[in-house]
Amino acid sequence: KDQQCKVFDGRMELVTAFFAAPLQGLTTGNTRAWEEQNTMLNDKAGDAFDRLFADLKSFVDDLDALAGESMLKTLVEELKVHDARAEWGEHESVDSLIDADIRPPLKEHLESLRKLLISVTGNVSRQEEAQHTVMTQLLAYFMGVAKKGENLRKRMDEFDMNYKGEEDDCIHDFKEELAKNEGQM
């Protein structure tokens, strides 16, 4: 959860930076830097989630293999020591009692735990994917705005240069025409 919160906070800082950036200063370079920061956040989140999910799976597997069977063995030994055959009901041995009355609910609860783990994993993965998708879309949007801004600045520079050149040509042509007209008078 801590890692997930850190990644979310990092993404929120990036989003704040996106919208705080002045349009004049928005370039493909700083947008690519944001993409790199987002990629680093995604890598951290992915690594943290992989570790968490591996730990949870290991926990459930260990619980199933070690704790469940260990608890059942301890229970069998204690029931044999107490020799409470009257409590066994129709079962001929402690092992058959355990196999019939205890093991099935234990397996059922362990299966419920596995399903819960799968559900949690799926929900966290979907949440992470949704955050990643939003960030990717925002980055694509700001990259588009940055490219359009750079294109606009380039065209404005070209326009200014062409305008000044045309203005100089007009002034030069006017002076030539003026000199020609003055010469004819």
Residue 5 banded pLDDT, cuts 50, 70, 90:
confident
> Is the Cβ–Cβ distance between 37 and 161 less than 8 Å?
no
Strands (DSSP E) contained in the chain are: none
- Percent over 90 (pLDDT), the chain: 42
pLDDT for the residue numbered 63: 76
Task: Report how far residue 146's alpha carbon sits from residue 30's, in angstroms, rounded to the nearest whole number.
Answer: 9
- Chain CA centroid to CA 172, Å: 62
> Is the Cβ–Cβ distance between 98 and 72 less than 8 Å?
yes
pLDDT digits (tens, 9 = 90+) for 52-97: 888 888 887 787 676 677 778 888 788 777 777 777 778 788 888 8
pLDDT digits (tens, 9 = 90+) for 21-62: 998 889 999 999 999 999 999 998 888 888 888 888 888 778
Task: Report how far residue 146's alpha carbon sits from residue 134's, in angstroms, rounded to the nearest whole number.
Answer: 18
Residue 150 banded pLDDT, cuts 50, 70, 90:
very high
pLDDT for the residue numbered 95: 81
- Percent over 70 (pLDDT), the chain: 98
Q: Tell me the pTM.
A: 0.67
DSSP structure class, residue 100: I
Question: Could you give the dihedral angle defined by the CA atoms of residues 121, 127, 130 and 132, in that order, rounded to the nearest 10 degrees?
Answer: -80
